[in-house]
Structure 1
Amino acid sequence: MTAGHSIVLLGGPDSGKTNYLVRLWRALKSRKCALVAPRSPTNIKYVESLMEFILQGEFAPHTDVSDHPSDQQLQIPMVRAGASSDDEVTISVPDVSGELWKGAIERGDVAKPWMDALKASAGALLFVRVQSEANVSSLDWVNTPDWLMHLAPAVKADADPAVAGAFNSDDDAVNEDLKVPTQVALCELLRFLDETLLRGDDGLPRVAIMITAWDLLDEETRVKGPEAYLEAEYPLFAGRLIDCLSLDVRCYGVSVVGGDFKDDHFKAEFFEADVDEMGFVAFDLGGMQEEADLTLPVAWVVDPLFDDE
């Protein structure tokens, strides 16, 4: 029996972490997927309460900012479908707020409690959401002269404190321009993982890139696959993944319910369907596949942790 391993969920605000965690637990409990839960964790009420939102045709709200990982630390036992409970992995999942990861990126480091959670993790799920209002596009350096004009006062800051104060003001327009682009944030989160994940004798740590709200993409984009989507939307991050030889990375498109609750037609269909059969993951393994098993990304990440002796 292998126990004590953990995986960590990372992603900025509105990246889909909480909704995936809620549906993951539902999938584990359904006993219809690649991974099943042999029993319920003692502190699962937090997740089950959020499931009520989905059952009512609403996505779960954003995770509240918390100062301690243990506030929402879930110890979830998992076994492969059909395996005995002796081949069990206990996954410790800190559902850390996207706002906390956002702050860590902006500061360039991670607070000690969260760094400890990373160092105790053997794998990770890294989230980015399709069409999220929280996504920040990279600056167009050719067509963004207003932003470039802010650089001149910064250069003169030491010589003119008054100008420096203006440059460092809390003006919303200035701060809006200075937000960290999403693909830069993803690269930084990948760096955190690369530097901290546990490395044992079972090969490289595994990181699943989770592109959530995959159902919002048009069919032409979806059939090209998650890697092609990242290359088109976040080329810097896509290139970093190609160059990353110290982590084992796989990309997944994820839809937790298979559609958008803002679509009244889909919402009506959802209420008539079995929620355990809704949602899917998309991935490219010699060709695009879509599977109605939301545990598959986790199953891949944790596979080396199972005791196969």
Structure 2
Amino acid sequence: MRTPEILLLGGPNSGKTHYAGQLYGRLKRRPKNLKIRSGDGSSVNLTALEGVLTNLEDGNAAEHTPSEQYDQILFPLVDSKNNELDLYWPDYGGEQLKLLFQQREVPAAWRERLESSNGWLLFIRLSSETTYPDAIAKLASLPEQRPEKNLRQETWDANAYWIELLQILCSVANYGITSKESKPPLAILLSCFDEYRTEGKEPKDVLKETLPLFYKFISSNWLESNLSIWGVSALGKSLSHDSNDDDFIDDGPEYQGWVIPHNETYENTDLTAPICWLIDKTT
């Protein structure tokens, strides 16, 4: 029987590097609900992740990962019920996903990986997303105001970007665009969630307020039981390359960071929770 495979997807600067390092630190030093499968440790790119941990142990942010240095990472995992899962980063640097969108061309390796995947883990950093106001509604309310010239935006609105990208991925993976039942479980991780002050709000409400069209798209095209939205702060706070944060130095990075589960408002220190949710959906 084939081991289920989950793809972790996200563009550059979406928080994947710190999440990868923190996940590896927990699996290595504080395994709880998940651990690296015995005998498969060589499959993990230790050089990439150890470098992230080293920076965090000094209380500093990790360096940006060059896209050409570590193009992919594989975590062979097993949960407390002995369910096995391969967590796969097909694009650790995040540049390939952006090129896939820009060029509308999907390499054979990506096609094979998407077709064989059983679930998707998608990173979105809301604070880095670009959105535009509703110009038509604004003009309708103020008809006397007209733009002096036609201003064409070079950057896609994030709502349109993520809708288009998911449609590309679904098409390549041979999932019906309009069929809810055919699509894989999708966990959306709203990364760097500590950048928001959202006390009392569920992550899905924050996504709905920030990217309403995208939220409507995923709600309409995924089964409710196969969709979850999480707030994630892999570090629990912002670090710089020379912050030398005492909490990370004294306690260790494996004690930092949290997630806010789907349909909840509290912080959970188990960074593996979104992965465990996907395991439950794919096993």
- TM-score by structure 2 length? 0.81
Q: CA deviation at 1:266?
A: 9.4
2:63 corresponds to 1:61: yes
**How many angstroms apart in 2 are the aligned matches of 1:266 and 1:140?**
43
**How many angstroms apart in 2 are the aligned matches of 1:280 and 1:52?**
20
Query: Which residue in the other structure is 1:129 paired with?
Result: 125
Query: Which residue in the other structure is 1:163 paired with?
Result: none
Name the aligned partner's letter for residue 138 of structure 1: Y
Which of 176, 184, 190 pairs up with 1:211? 190
Q: Deviations over 1:114-173 (max 9, x none)?
A: 2222222111111111423xx22235525797696156xxxxxxxxxxxxxxxxxxxxxx
Query: Which residue in the other structure is 1:169 paired with?
Result: none
2:252 corresponds to 1:258: no
Query: Which residue in the other structure is 1:95 paired with?
Result: 91
Query: Which residue in the other structure is 1:112 paired with?
Result: 108
Query: Which residue in the other structure is 1:27 paired with?
Result: 26
Q: CA deviation at 1:6?
A: 2.0
Query: Which residue in the other structure is 1:292 paired with?
Result: 269
Describe how 1:125-274 pairs up with structure 2 within 5 A. Answer: 125-132=121-128, 135-138=129-132, 140-141=134-135, 149-150=150-151, 177-197=153-173, 205-218=184-197, 221-245=198-222, 248-262=226-240, 267-274=245-252
Q: CA deviation at 1:47?
A: 1.8
Aligned length: 267
- Structure possessing the higher radius of gyration over alpha carbons: 1
Name the aligned partner's letter for residue 52 of structure 1: T
**How many angstroms apart in 1 are the aligned matches of 2:169 and 2:199?**
27
Q: CA deviation at 1:34?
A: 1.8
**How many angstroms apart in 1 are the aligned matches of 2:93 and 2:132?**
23
Q: Secondary structure at the match of 2:135?
A: coil
Name the aligned partner's letter for residue 196 of structure 2: L
Q: CA deviation at 1:13?
A: 2.1
Q: Which has the larger displacement, 90-99 or 9-18?
A: 90-99
**How many angstroms apart in 2 are the aligned matches of 1:58 and 1:186?**
31
**How many angstroms apart in 1 are the aligned matches of 2:134 and 2:221?**
26
Identity of matched residues, %? 27
Q: Deviations over 1:190-233 (max 9, x none)?
A: 2234334588xx98521110101111111xx2421111111111
CA 1:10–1:91 in 2, change beyond 3 Å: closer, same or farther? Answer: closer
**How many angstroms apart in 2 are the aligned matches of 1:109 and 1:240?**
23
**How many angstroms apart in 2 are the aligned matches of 1:263 and 1:16?**
15
**How many angstroms apart in 1 are the aligned matches of 2:267 and 2:84?**
27
Which of 247, 255, 275 pairs up with 1:277? 255
Query: Which residue in the other structure is 2:78 paired with?
Result: 79
CA 1:185–1:54 in 2, change beyond 3 Å: closer, same or farther? Answer: farther
Q: Deviations over 1:88-110 (max 9, x none)?
A: 33333323432221222223343
Name the aligned partner's letter for residue 213 of structure 1: C
Q: Secondary structure at the match of 1:15?
A: coil
**How many angstroms apart in 1 are the aligned matches of 2:204 and 2:16?**
19
List gaps (5 residues or longer) in structure 2: 140-145, 176-180
Residue 4 of structure 1 contacts residue 91 of structure 1 at CA under 8 Å; is this kept in 2?
no
Residue 7 of structure 2 contacts residue 87 of structure 2 at CA under 8 Å; is this kept in 1?
no
For the aligned residue pairs, the C-alpha RMSD in angstroms reads 3.1
Q: CA deviation at 1:45?
A: 2.3
**How many angstroms apart in 2 are the aligned matches of 1:147 and 1:25?**
53
**How many angstroms apart in 1 are the aligned matches of 2:123 and 2:201?**
19
Q: Secondary structure at the match of 2:267?
A: strand
Q: CA deviation at 1:265?
A: 9.1
Name the aligned partner's letter for residue 268 of structure 1: D
